[in-house]
C-alpha cells in the first residue's frame, strides 16, 4: 500500500488530512482542486504515494484536463507510477471516503502546516547534527524566521475552522445527513434496510451473484419496491435482457402469473395494455434497452429521462455491470474503470445507483460468496458503499418456490447481516417471508 512510503519517519504529519484532500478532489475535481492547489503543493505531502497522486493531478490540470480519477489513473499508469502508489485498487479507495469538498481548504492547510513543521524539524536536526558546518548566527536567524512563519500559519483564523463543534453543531450536521437519507431508497428487505438505513443519493449498492442465481429478478423486485411503495422514479438499464423480457417479468411480478400467461393475454386481451398502465409504479419506470452503455452515456440518458419526469429521476439500476462498455484493457483494468465510473457517476448525479455484477471465483448458485474469493469483482465491491451477495438453497425438481439467501457483506454504516427470501418461480416475485 502507498501509505508505507514516507520521506522522513517520525515527523509531524496527518495522513487523514492528506487522504481527505485527495478524496475530495477525486470525488469533486471541478470544485475541490482549485481550492487545494491555491494553498498547498505536492511537496507538502508526507506520504510519497500521496505526493505522486497530487503531482499527477497538477499535471493533468496543467495540460487542460480535469483531474478526475480516470485521468489521474491513466497518467500514473503512463508514467509508471501506478504500482508505486499502491495500484489502481489503492486509488479507488478514495472513492469510498465521505465527501469532504466543503472542508478541503481546512484539510489543505493542515497538510501545508505539517510540512512547515517538518521543515523546521529538519533544520533543527541538521543543525544539532553538524553545527560546525553551519554559520550559527545565519542558521539561527533562518530557524527563527521559519518558526515564526509556522507559528503564523498555526494561528491562522481559518485553521481549525469547523473542526471544533459543539453538540448543537454536530446535531445540525447530523440532521443535514438525515435529510439526504430521506431522498434515498429502501430495498424492502427489513433486516437489510435496518442495517444500511437506505441507499442515499451519491451511494452505490452492488449485488454480486453467479449466473442463473436471479440477479435480474432481484434488481427488478427492488426497483418495483422503490417505484410502488416509495413512489420514486427509476431509470433501469437492461444490458442483458431485451426490454420486452423485462416488461414480461414486471407483469409477472405485478399480476402473479407465468410469462406464458402474460404473452397469451397480451395477444388476445384488448384491455391488457390499459391494465398494465394502471399497475402500481408503472408510471415511475423509464427503461433503457441497450446492449452496452458507458457511464457517460448513463449520465446523458439520466439527464434526458429527468426531463420526462417533473420530479426527476430518484434511482438508477444497471443490469448488469459486466456488459457495460469499458475499453479494451485486461479484465482487471476494465473492472477498475467500471468501479471508478460507477462511484463518480453516483456522486456527480447525486442519485443512488444499484448494480448487478457477475462474480468469478465461485462455481454454482448455491455457493457462498465472500470478498476474499471474488477476483475481478474486488475493485467494484471496494468502490461500493454496500455489497449484497445472492445464493440459492438447493431446490427439489418441480418445486414452484425457492429460497434465496441475501448476505450483506459490506456496509459502510457497519454491521453485516444475512436473511432468506422466498423466490416464486412462477411470478419471479421475491419476498421477505416474515413481512406482514
Q: List the CATH number of the domain containing 206.
A: 3.40.50.300
- What would the mean pLDDT of 403-422 be, rounded to a whole number? 93
Question: What is the pTM assigned to this prediction?
Answer: 0.68
Query: What are the strands of the beta sheet with 353-358, ordered from one edge?
Result: 285-289, 234-238, 315-319, 353-358, 204-209, 386-392, 401-411, 417-424, 429-431
For residue 136, is it within any domain? yes
Provide the residue range defining the domain that includes 76. Answer: 2-154
Run of H or E residues at 105 = helix 104-129
Number of helices (H) and strands (E) in the chain: give both, helices first. Answer: 16, 9
**pLDDT interval class at 164 (50, 70, 90):** low
Answer yes or no: do 134 and 203 share one domain.
Answer: no
**pLDDT interval class at 97 (50, 70, 90):** confident
For residue 43, is it within any domain? yes
φ, ψ (nearest 5 deg) of residue 377: -90, -5
Residue bearing cell 410502488: 228
pLDDT recorded at residue 144: 55
Alpha helices in 130-258 (DSSP H): 136-154, 167-181, 190-196, 215-228, 243-255
pLDDT in tens, 303-340: 999 988 888 999 999 998 888 876 666 666 677 778 77
- Domain count within the chain: 2
In terms of phi and psi (left: phi > 0; alpha: psi -120 to 50; beta: otherwise), the region of 182 is alpha
For residue 436, is it within any domain? no
Domain termination site, one of 85, 119, 154: 154
Evaluate whether 419 touches 192 at the Cβ level (below 8 Å).
Answer: yes
For residue 105, is it within any domain? yes
**pLDDT interval class at 348 (50, 70, 90):** confident
pLDDT recorded at residue 416: 92
pLDDT recorded at residue 158: 41
Answer yes or no: do 207 and 96 share one domain.
Answer: no
Answer yes or no: do 222 and 335 share one domain.
Answer: yes
What DSSP designation does 371 have? T
pLDDT recorded at residue 308: 85
Answer yes or no: do 141 and 184 share one domain.
Answer: no
Mean pLDDT, the chain, rounded, equals: 83
Answer yes or no: do 219 and 139 share one domain.
Answer: no
- What would the mean pLDDT of 67-88 be, rounded to a whole number? 90
Evaluate whether 33 touches 67 at the Cβ level (below 8 Å).
Answer: yes
Answer yes or no: do 421 and 272 share one domain.
Answer: yes
pLDDT recorded at residue 387: 93
Amino acid at each position: 500500500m502507498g501509505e508505507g512510503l514516507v520521506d522522513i519517519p517520525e515527523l509531524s504529519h496527518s495522513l487523514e488530512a492528506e487522504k481527505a484532500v485527495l478524496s475530495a478532489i477525486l470525488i469533486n475535481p471541478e470544485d475541490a482542486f482549485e481550492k487545494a492547489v491555491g494553498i498547498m503543493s505536492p511537496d507538502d505531502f508526507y506520504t510519497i504515494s500521496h505526493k505522486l497522486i497530487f503531482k499527477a493531478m497538477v499535471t493533468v490540470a496543467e495540460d487542460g484536463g480535469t483531474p478526475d480519477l480516470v485521468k489521474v489513473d491513466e497518467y500514473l499508469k503512463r508514467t509508471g507510477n501506478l504500482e508505486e502508489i499502491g495500484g489502481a485498487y489503492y486509488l479507488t479507495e478514495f472513492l469510498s471516503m465521505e465527501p469532504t469538498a466543503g472542508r478541503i481548504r481546512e484539510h489543505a492547510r493542515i497538510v501545508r502546516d505539517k510540512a512547515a513543521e517538518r521543515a523546521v524539524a529538519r533544520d533543527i536536526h541538521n543543525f544539532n547534527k553538524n553545527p560546525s558546518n553551519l554559520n550559527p548566527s545565519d542558521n539561527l536567524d533562518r530557524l527563527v524566521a521559519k518558526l515564526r512563519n509556522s507559528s503564523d500559519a498555526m494561528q491562522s483564523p481559518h485553521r481549525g475552522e469547523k473542526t471544533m463543534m459543539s453538540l448543537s453543531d454536530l446535531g445540525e450536521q447530523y440532521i443535514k445527513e438525515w435529510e439526504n437519507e430521506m431522498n434515498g431508497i429502501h430495498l424492502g428487505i427489513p433486516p437489510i434496510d435496518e442495517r444500511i438505513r437506505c441507499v442515499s443519493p451519491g451511494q452505490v449498492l452492488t449485488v454480486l451473484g453467479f449466473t442463473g442465481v436471479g440477479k435480474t429478478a432481484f434488481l427488478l423486485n427492488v426497483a418495483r419496491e422503490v417505484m410502488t411503495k416509495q413512489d420514486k422514479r427509476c431509470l433501469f438499464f437492461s444490458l442483458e435482457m431485451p426490454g420486452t423480457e423485462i416488461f414480461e417479468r414486471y407483469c409477472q411480478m405485478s399480476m402473479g402469473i407465468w410469462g406464458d400467461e402474460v404473452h397469451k393475454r397480451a395477444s388476445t386481451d384488448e384491455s391488457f395494455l390499459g391494465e398494465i398502465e394502471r399497475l402500481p409504479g408503472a408510471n415511475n419506470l423509464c427503461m433503457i434497452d441497450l446492449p452496452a452503455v458507458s457511464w457517460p452515456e448513463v449520465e446523458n440518458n439520466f439527464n434526458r429521462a429527468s426531463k420526462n419526469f417533473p420530479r426527476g429521476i430518484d434511482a438508477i439500476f444497471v443490469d448488469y455491470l459486466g456488459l457495460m462498455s469499458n475499453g479494451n484493457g485486461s479484465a482487471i483494468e476494465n473492472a477498475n474503470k467500471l468501479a471508478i465510473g460507477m462511484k463518480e457517476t453516483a456522486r456527480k448525479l447525486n442519485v443512488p445507483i444499484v448494480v448487478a455484477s457477475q462474480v468469478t471465483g465461485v462455481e454454482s448458485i448455491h455457493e457462498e460468496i465472500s470478498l476474499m474469493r471474488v477476483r475481478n469483482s474486488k475493485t467494484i465491491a471496494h468502490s461500493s458503499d454496500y455489497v449484497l451477495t445472492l445464493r440459492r438453497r438447493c431446490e427439489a425438481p418441480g418445486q414452484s418456490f425457492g429460497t434465496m439467501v441475501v448476505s450483506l457483506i459490506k456496509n459502510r454504516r457497519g454491521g453485516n447481516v444475512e436473511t432468506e427470501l422466498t423466490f416464486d418461480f412462477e411470478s419471479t416475485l421475491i419476498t421477505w417471508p416474515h413481512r406482514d
